[in-house]
Amino acid sequence: MNRATIPILFALIALVVVSAPAAAQANVAGNWLLTVESPEAGGDIVAVFAQDGSTVTGTLEVPMVGGAEMTDGLVENNTLSFLLHVDFDGTWFTVEVKAEVEGDSMAGSVYVPEMGSMPFTGRRTES
């Protein structure tokens, strides 16, 4: 390889790297029905997510709790994660949620203090 071809080779490599498609980021915006699998705290949760780039905000209707506030929502590639601050009988605690998203479905885990990790699934709904 002569010296004149080295800059051309580097330019071609740079072009390939820049033009390579980035990993597709999941879109979680919309209405979801999440089902937690647990005999103690299982049930359906209605979630409405909004997404701006990788930042996710939303509201969740959690049965049997006085209130729930979502924070730290993030989508990285196909992974959704957020914290849910929950009021149960006047005591607030933080639930950690993480899921892999594929199109209109997701599956992951919910970590609840004093109860451990529980699996959940979710599907996008129309309303």
Cα 12 to Cα 16: distance, rounded to the nearest angstrom: 6
- pLDDT (0 to 100) of residue 127: 67
CB neighbours (10 Å) of residue 32? 23
Tokens of 14: 């740079």
Return d(Cα 83, Cα 10) in angstroms, integer: 44
CA 2/CA 57 separation, integer angstroms: 55
Q: Tell me, what amino acid is at 92? A: W
Q: What is the pTM of this model?
A: 0.78
CATH superfamily placement of domain 30-125:
Calycin beta-barrel core domain (2.40.128.20)
pLDDT tens, position by position, 14-23: 433 333 344 5
Residue-by-residue pLDDT tens, the chain, 127 positions: 555 544 443 443 443 333 334 457 999 999 999 999 877 666 899 999 999 999 999 999 988 787 788 999 999 999 999 999 998 888 889 999 999 999 999 999 999 998 899 999 999 998 6
The domain ranges of the chain are: 30-125
Phi-psi region of 13 (alpha: psi -120 to 50; beta: other; left: phi over 0): alpha
